């Protein structure tokens, strides 16, 4: 069993790819044991990498702001992903909800877990 700690996003992506290959392995087999270990490592990495994931008070906008403040992403990058600066501003001001297409783009480009972005949240009404 060639398993090692997950220390980087590349390690994380590789572990997820291996989990996908092993998914459905019978418990108690070498593949099943490897799957269990990889799942535990991924869970541990996600808790360290995205500490706000466990806090239900954080909504998708908080997650985006965390990604910009702590992970080095910018509002300009978000605008490029979402198609315009105004759309990014509306999302961050909670005047427009994220769509599934937007969430997919953010997940693919920024590597954030989708479950953090699909939570329901309150949208502010326009004045």
**For position 70, what pLDDT does the model report?**
79
What is the C-alpha to C-alpha distance for residues 34 and 127, in angstroms, rounded to an integer?
54
Instruction: Give yes or no for a contact between 81 and 98, defined as CB atoms under 8 angstroms apart.
Output: no
Distance of CA 76 to the CA centre of its chain: 19
Give the tens place of pLDDT for each residue, 19-78: 989 999 999 999 999 999 999 998 898 888 777 666 667 889 999 998 898 788 999 999
pLDDT value of residue 111: 85
Positive or negative CA dihedral for 120, 60, 122, 124?
negative
Q: Which sign does the torsion angle of CA 50, 51, 56, 61 carry?
A: negative
Q: Flag whether the pTM goes above 0.85.
A: no
Q: How far apart are CA 28 and CA 34, in angstroms?
A: 10
**36 in Cβ contact with 26 (< 8 Å):** no
């Amino acid at each position: 069993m060639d398993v090692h700690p997950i220390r980087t996003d590349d390690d994380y992506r590789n572990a997820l790819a291996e989990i996908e290959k092993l998914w459905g392995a019978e418990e108690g087999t070498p593949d099943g044991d490897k799957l269990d270990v990889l799942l535990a490592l991924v869970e541990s990495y996600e808790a360290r990498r995205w500490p706000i994931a466990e806090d239900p008070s954080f909504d998708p906008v908080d997650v985006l702001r965390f990604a910009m403040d702590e992970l080095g992403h910018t509002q300009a990058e978000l605008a490029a992903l979402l198609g315009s600066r105004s759309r990014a501003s509306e999302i961050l001001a909670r005047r427009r909800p994220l769509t599934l297409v937007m969430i997919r783009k953010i997940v693919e480009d920024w590597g954030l877990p989708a479950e953090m972005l699909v939570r329901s949240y309150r949208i502010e009404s326009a004045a």
